[in-house]
Amino acid sequence: MRRKLTHQSTAVLGLNLRSFAYLDGADATLRNMHLDVHPGSLTVISGHSGSGKSTLGAILAGLLPRHGMDQLVGTVKVDGTEIEFSPSSAPRVDVAQWAKHVGLLPQDAGHYLSGIRGTVAEELAFSLENAGVPREQMHRQVTQLAQRLRLEHLLERNPQQLSGGQERLVALAALAISEPEVLVLDEPLAGLDRQATELVSEMINMLRANGTALVVLADSMQRWAHEADELWELDRGTLQRVSSEKQQRQPESGATQRQPIPADSRVLLNVDSVQLAYPGSTEPVVQDLNLQVRSGECLGLAGANGSGKTTLLKAIAGLLEPSAGTLVTFGQTGMLLQNSSDQLFERTVFREVSFGIPKKSAARKRISEVLAQLGLESFAQTHPYELPASARRLVALATVMIHEPQILLLDEPTEALDEAGESKLRETIAAVLERGGAVILSTHDERFMERVAHRVHLMK
Amino acid sequence: MPRTIKLHPFTILAIAVAVITMTTAASLWWLSCAVMALCLLIAGWAGHLKKLAVLSGAMLLPTFLSLLLIHGLISRDQSPAIAQWGPLRVTIHGLEVALSLGLRTAVLVVVGLLCGLLIDKHQLVAAIDLSPVPPQLGYLLAATLFLLPQMAEKQRQIGEAQTLRHMGTGTGLAGWFQRMRLRAVPLVLASMQDAQDRAVHLSARGFPATGSRTRLRTVPDSSVQRGIRWAALVCAVLGPMLILALAGFGSR
């Protein structure tokens, strides 16, 4: 059922949700919430991993409920039209039409890009092409948008060869070209280095200044609190307004808990004048690197995207041979990759952690213990793809920890982790250091780096 | 730096089809050799000679060997043998058949590969998008051309992750099969997940278009090229018929 609203309502998007349940979901994922989004406003919705933020974002963007599958009870107001969903009437949503009013930037911005266009300019024009907009008009719109969002330098670049930050900028611009009244941004700053964070934040501010309402979904509201018009917390499937008092109490949970490095600690990693390059590439990624890591030590690797942090971690893990110099490790290494999905292959968490471990080995008996240490025991029989992002990241960590590595290598470990997950990660790092191991981590999360690393090596 | 040919992709494809069908129908060794030499010249001019030679060699060498084995060594034709080792006998006729079939296949392979090297893939997709075929066809081709390299990259990442867990590290043929087996399922699952994640956003961006669609990219065309395409298609259909008819008439 649809009806045109009166002019009294100034909200460009309104949600009055009684319940939302996925197909085959035992319970409602979201319930009893009311949200109005006004032009040019910034609404921040925070919540831990698995709290339903992405589900809420997809509902606002018209991607959920899937017709004939999920069940939504409530109303959504878009472009002055109220759409009512009930068990007896579930209208089929034209997502392309909806996207003209509400756009969604997914957590992995690469998924928003078509992946089949040769230049950024074409990628920006993709939705206009599908709408049959004349070429000259498209060209004009793309040029104007690129000027407005300062993206001219990227227009002729291949979208497949953009960095993570540039990919997010292009996806944001591709969303903005249809000039929707509302943009829903799912973790828009996650995993970006400082420079990319500044660029993406700048673009978000420009869009807001142009009157676009923004709904930001984030694990933590800290980054957004001072500029947000409305702050909400998504907890146990429902929205609660965050009071200014609670907002004040947000900062810094837990202090630095680093143990000092024992004076007689032995060297576990020795990197001497190492040069690293990818096969087939003439340009080295890392040159003349000298590094030593001792037992009980946590070393942080800092540096901009492309400075060779991941390359160095892979070389220490034995995935890449140095093209010059020597790299010696004393003890087994274990590495947590940046993208957890690449590290998960099995159909249950238990099978995942036991992947490649002989049935009668001692490690097999430790699986339950490792799962319990990371708070994953209740997910043992769950498919890893069905877990919230934070738990999935911890499963990937469990697959590393089951081998009890002497040198633990972590590539952007806090990415996708919520507060509870980050706490488990800190405990894991502390446990490795306590048993005489070493940890080397690469992260853009300066706060986390400061809390766990004994020293930071800046990659150039 | 490779040079590009500023012809409409359909023009190149139409000429290629005409050349392949007519050369196959003519079945003249010197014509096949001349076509291949011309292809190599064009590849040399465009800066793709090495690539064309390597790819053609990789495909044609096994083809020639198998044809030689079937027609040249274990042929049952009764023509006089020029060499014999037990049941294996090499005959002039067998060699002629192997060479003739091999050359026809070689034209198909070399011309096809040259097309692949000369045609800009994005121009081809744009040309298909701008033609009246369903938009899904353009996407299907584009996905095949551009998402396959992404799948190869994903496969490499899965391989790295498995190596980190001490799996799929065997050597030799058995190790290769083990790696393939271990990587296949996660690769398919990850690709399906990726396709699902992209699909919702493609729909939100209006794909596939329900009405008329346009492209920002231009694909230069001209009436001369359109004429060439029509002529090439006529040659591709009528040329072989004419050649075969003339051959049949001549043999009588």
Given CA atoms A49, A50, A54, A60 in this order, what sign does their dihedral have? negative
C-alpha A256, offset from chain centre: 24
Per-residue model confidence (pLDDT) at position A8: 43
* Burial (CB count within 10 angstroms: exposed 0-12, middle 13-18, buried 19+), residue A295: buried
Strand pairing category for A455-458 and A438-442: unpaired
Task: Characterize A45-57 residue by residue with b for buried, 16 or more Cβ atoms within 10 angstroms of its Cβ, and e for exposed.
Answer: bbbbbbbbbbbbb
Q: Token pair of A232, please?
A: 């909400």
Closest C-alpha to A443, from A257, A342, A304, A318? A304
Q: Are B125 and B141 in contact (CB under 8 A)?
A: yes
State how far the Cα of A179 lies from the Cα of A194, in Å rounded to an integer: 28
Angstroms from B122 CA to nearest CA on chain A: 6
Per-residue model confidence (pLDDT) at position B133: 83
Closest C-alpha to A319, from B156, B182, B174, B149? B156
Of B139, B154, B165, the CB nearest to A116: B139
Of B204, B208, B209, the CB nearest to A132: B209
Q: Are A11 and A77 in contact (CB under 8 A)?
A: yes
Domains of chain B, by residue range, sit at: 9-125+220-251, 135-204
C-alpha A79, offset from chain centre: 30
Closest C-alpha to A15, from A213, A228, A220? A213
Q: Token pair of A234, please?
A: 């998504």
Alpha-helical runs (H) found in A267-361: 309-316, 349-354
Angstroms from B166 CA to nearest CA on chain A: 7
pLDDT of residue A255 exceeding 60 = no
Cβ within 8 Å of residue A47, ≥6 positions away = A53, A217, A219, A233, A234, A235
Per-residue model confidence (pLDDT) at position B16: 97
User: Which A residues, 301 through 320, put their C-beta within 8 Å of a C-beta on chain B?
Assistant: 314, 317-319
| Confidence bin at A384 (pLDDT 50/70/90) | confident
What length does chain B have?
252
Q: Token pair of A168, please?
A: 């997010």
pTM, to two decimals: 0.80
Beta bridge partners of A252: none
* Interface check A25 vs B, CB under 8 A: no
Per-residue model confidence (pLDDT) at position A7: 42
Per-residue model confidence (pLDDT) at position A5: 42
* Interface check A127 vs B, CB under 8 A: yes
* Interface check A107 vs B, CB under 8 A: no
* Type of residue found at B36: M
State how far the Cα of A275 lies from the Cα of A270, in Å rounded to an integer: 14
Q: Are A156 and A99 in contact (CB under 8 A)?
A: no
Q: Which residues of A touch B197 (CB under 8 A)?
A: 106, 108, 111
User: Which B residues, 181 through 220, put their C-beta within 8 Å of a C-beta on chain A?
Assistant: 182, 185-186, 189-190, 193-194, 197-198, 200-209, 211-218
Contact at CB, A99 and B205, closer than 8 angstroms: yes
State how far the Cα of A146 lies from the Cα of A138, in Å rounded to an integer: 12
* Type of residue found at A219: D
Closest C-alpha to A45, from A55, A206, A165? A55
User: Which A residues, 259 through 288, put their C-beta within 8 Å of a C-beta on chain B?
Assistant: none
pLDDT of residue A383 exceeding 60 = yes
Find the closest chain A residue to B215 by CA distance.
A129
Q: Are A389 and A401 in contact (CB under 8 A)?
A: no
Closest C-alpha to B3, from B109, B112, B120? B120
- In Å, what is the CA distance from A444 to each residue of A89, A302, A420? 47, 7, 19
Angstroms from A261 CA to nearest CA on chain B: 27
* Burial (CB count within 10 angstroms: exposed 0-12, middle 13-18, buried 19+), residue B227: exposed
Contact at CB, A96 and B182, closer than 8 angstroms: no
Among A245-249, A283-287, A450-454, B74-78, name the one with the lowest average pLDDT: A245-249
Among A236-250, A257-271, A372-386, B12-26, name the one with the lowest average pLDDT: A236-250
Average pLDDT over residues A329-353: 87
> Between residues A314 and A195, which one has the greater pLDDT?
A314
State how far the Cα of B181 lies from the Cα of B158, in Å rounded to an integer: 12
Q: Are A414 and A422 in contact (CB under 8 A)?
A: yes
pLDDT of residue A252 exceeding 70 = no
Closest C-alpha to A357, from A305, A412, A401, A411? A401
Q: Which residues of A touch B190 (CB under 8 A)?
A: 341-342
Question: Using the 8-state DSSP alphabet, how is residue A376 labeled?
Answer: -
Query: What is the per-residue DSSP string for A162-204?
Result: --HHHHHHHHHHHHHTT--SEEEEESTTTT--HHHHHHHHHHH
Q: Which residues of A touch B150 (CB under 8 A)?
A: 115, 160
Query: What is the per-residue DSSP string for B208-247?
Result: SPSS----SS-----HHHHHHHHHHHHHHHHHHHHHHHHH
pLDDT tens sequence for chain B (252 residues): 677 788 999 999 999 999 999 999 998 999 999 999 999 999 999 999 999 999 999 999 999 999 888 887 776 667 777 777 777 778 888 888 888 899 999 999 999 999 999 999 899 999 998 888 887 788 788 888 887 888 888 888 889 888 888 887 778 888 888 888 888 888 888 888 888 888 899 999 998 888 888 999 999 999 999 999 999 999 999 999 999 898 888 766
Average pLDDT over residues A186-192: 83
Quote the Cα angle for A233-A236-A241, to 5°: 25
Angstroms from A116 CA to nearest CA on chain B: 6
Per-residue model confidence (pLDDT) at position A156: 94
Residue B78's CB is within 10 A of a number of other CB atoms, namely: 8
* Interface check A156 vs B, CB under 8 A: no
For A113, list phi and psi in degrees, rounded to 5.
-80, 145
Q: pLDDT for A72-83, tens place per residue?
A: 999 999 988 899
Contact at CB, A62 and B204, closer than 8 angstroms: yes
pLDDT of residue A248 exceeding 80 = no
Average pLDDT over residues A39-47: 92
Helix axis angle, B9-26 to B223-251, nearest 10°: 10
Q: Which one of B139, B164, B193 would you mutate to disrupt binding with A, by most A Cβ within 10 Å of its Cβ?
A: B164
Among A85-99, A252-266, B120-134, B162-176, name the one with the lowest average pLDDT: A252-266
Helices (H) and strands (E) in chain A, counts: 14, 19
State how far the Cα of A225 lies from the Cα of A44, in Å rounded to an integer: 8
Contact at CB, A106 and B197, closer than 8 angstroms: yes
Per-residue model confidence (pLDDT) at position B31: 94
Question: Using the 8-state DSSP alphabet, how is residue B72 labeled?
Answer: I
Per-residue model confidence (pLDDT) at position A6: 41
Beta bridge partners of B120: none
pLDDT of residue A10 exceeding 70 = yes
Find the closest chain B residue to A136 by CA distance.
B216
Alpha-helical runs (H) found in A237-365: 244-249, 309-316, 349-354, 362-365
